[in-house]
Amino acid sequence: MCRILLAPFLGHLIIQQHFHLSLALFTLAGATDLLDGYIARTWPTQKSALGSALDPLADKILVSILYVSLTYADLIPAPLTALVIFRDIGLISAVFWIRYKTVPPPVTLSKFFNPCYTTAQLKPTLFSKVNTAVQLFLVAASLAAPVFQYTDSVLLQCIWYVTAVTTAASGYSYWHYGRKTVQVKKDTCLIL
């Protein structure tokens, strides 16, 4: 949840070219994400349906805002940002479609957005996990570039290409494996 609230503020700081503070807050956001994951794995009773739904959404919001603001600051090329955002829009659209098809009828807005109805789970592919790590590494490297004065680095440009390849491969892996990445659940809760 912290990442959703922090993302617009981080984007603003990047646009205002406060890269030192942006890098520090991005590191903090990463640490809270790791802590969230650790708590959910270590104490399963702390895992919630809402948290399970918001965690991937928080990642998408954070990555999208950071890529757009880093593009605005001329630290990430616009075509790469477009690729990242279009892949995420495709994934979110697919998740909404699957959600619509698996919510018990009649489908209402309250049922559709109620995290208690866990009707399907999207299992991340290996490409997707690698891609997330590469995308976030590029954000960190791009934020650090003006701080440590390596904005024209060939290595940074290589990371752009690696990110483009992993983003495309991740999108393709979801398209190719399709149904294998979605686990439809039969258990739903009753709202009293």
Mean pLDDT for the stretch of residues 67-85: 98
Q: Shortest CA distance to 59 belongs to which of 86, 83, 88, 28?
A: 88
Q: What does the pLDDT read at residue 53?
A: 63
Q: What does the pLDDT read at residue 114?
A: 81
Tell me: pLDDT of 47 over 70. Answer: no
Mean pLDDT for the stretch of residues 92-101: 86
Mean pLDDT for the stretch of residues 132-157: 95
Tell me: pLDDT of 192 over 50. Answer: no
Q: What does the pLDDT read at residue 36?
A: 75
Angle between helices 126-148 and 19-42 (to 10 degrees): 150
Mean pLDDT for the stretch of residues 24-32: 88
Q: What does the pLDDT read at residue 176?
A: 82
Q: How far apart are CA 16 and CA 145, in angstroms?
A: 15
By DSSP bridging, strand 120-122 and strand 182-184 are antiparallel
Tens-place pLDDT, residues 99-117: 888 888 888 898 888 877 7
The least confident of 73-77, 113-117, 138-142, 157-161 is 113-117
Report pTM.
Answer: 0.85
CB neighbour class for 145 (10 Å; exposed up to 12, middle 13-18, buried from 19): buried
